């Protein structure tokens, strides 16, 4: 787990700044859109089903782009992490933050392990929702509010963790993210690392908010990757990391893949 997220700052080209600004505009737009919709409209189950269907169709083409560019909950957690960083810079908190950062550095191996296994928690959330929806085995209403209380406590913890960890909700508690991640594996969109250009500087791995070891992968097929493009933004070598269209689940150098392979960024 790399709670600090990006440890390495990189002054890349204006192209990168434009992508970052573009992404923030889109995220902000959808955040306000969902807030407006919730205030203005009574979102029915049917409407929610249509929204989920659109999300899944988008995922089939563009992998987890919904999580990285659209999801308002993800955007809220980006804001929470920003608030965490601002709090860490308050003069009387600064010394405590320094000790915390040192502690993280000294315990990074064990923290990475905890992070790895804690990510399975969101699978349990998904299973719980599925059994409640399909078999009505343990539903929220039958629990007499007790389970709502437990869920609320878990989400408060996730909110608190969000001050220290990039996108804690996406990492540990988003059941929709699990579905999107799995469906996204069928998508032709993926990030590819070109070993001919890569200098193994490791900047991409350090900058990934989802703590994915980009520098040691040929292509990023992790369900947790939300196509935020931060790794491509921060990579100092042009062409080392690319967002590409490829044939889903095919081998990198297969004939069909070579024919269809198209670079997006």
The three-state (H, E, C) secondary structure of 61-106, written as one string: HHCCHHHHHHCHHHHHHHHHHHHHHHHHCCCCCHHHHHHHHHHHHH
Other CB atoms within a 10 A radius of the CB of residue 84 amount to 20
Q: Which helix (H) or strand (E) holds 227?
A: none
Nearer to ligand SF4, 108 or 129 (CB): 108
Nearer to ligand SF4, 64 or 164 (CB): 64
* Closest distance of CB 207 from ligand SF4, Å: 6
For 14, the 3-state DSSP assignment is: helix
Q: Which of 71, 178, 212, 223 binds ligand SF4 (CB under 6 A)?
A: 212
At residue 262, φ and ψ (nearest 5 deg) are -140, 135
Q: Verify binding: residue 111, ligand SF4, rule CB under 6 A.
A: no
Q: Verify binding: residue 203, ligand SF4, rule CB under 6 A.
A: yes
Q: Which of 208, 223, 244, 261 binds ligand SF4 (CB under 6 A)?
A: 208
Q: Verify binding: residue 183, ligand SF4, rule CB under 6 A.
A: no
Q: Verify binding: residue 63, ligand SF4, rule CB under 6 A.
A: no
Nearer to ligand SF4, 202 or 250 (CB): 202
- Round to whole Å and give the CA distance between 217 and 225: 13
Piece of 43-51, 107-115, 120-128, 207-215 that binds ligand SF4 (CB under 6 A)? 207-215
């Amino acid at each position: 787990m790399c709670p600090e997220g990006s440890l390495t700052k990189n002054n890349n080209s204006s192209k990168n700044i434009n992508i970052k600004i573009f992404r923030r505009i889109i995220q902000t737009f959808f955040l306000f859109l969902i807030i407006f919709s919730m205030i203005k409209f009574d979102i029915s189950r049917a409407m929610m089903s249509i929204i989920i269907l659109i999300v899944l169709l988008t995922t089939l083409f563009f992998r987890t782009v919904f999580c990285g560019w659209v999801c308002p909950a993800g955007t809220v957690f980006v804001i929470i992490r920003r608030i965490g960083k601002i709090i860490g810079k308050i003069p009387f908190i600064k010394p405590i933050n320094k000790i915390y950062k040192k502690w993280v550095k000294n315990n990074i191996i064990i923290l990475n392990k905890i992070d790895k296994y804690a990510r399975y928690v969101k699978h349990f959330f998904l299973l719980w929702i599925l059994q409640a929806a399909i078999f009505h085995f343990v539903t929220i209403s039958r629990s007499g509010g007790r389970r709502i209380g437990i869920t609320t406590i878990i989400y408060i913890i996730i909110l608190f963790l969000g001050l220290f960890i990039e996108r804690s909700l996406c990492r540990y508690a988003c059941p929709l993210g699990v579905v999107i991640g799995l469906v996204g594996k069928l998508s032709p969109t993926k990030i590819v690392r070109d070993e001919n250009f890569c200098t193994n500087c490791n900047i991409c791995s350090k900058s990934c908010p989802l703590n994915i070891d980009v520098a040691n992968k040929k292509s990023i097929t992790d369900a947790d990757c939300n196509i935020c493009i931060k790794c491509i933004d921060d990579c100092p070598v042009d062409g080392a990391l690319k967002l590409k269209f490829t044939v889903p689940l095919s081998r990198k150098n297969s004939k069909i893949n070579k024919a269809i392979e198209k670079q997006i960024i």
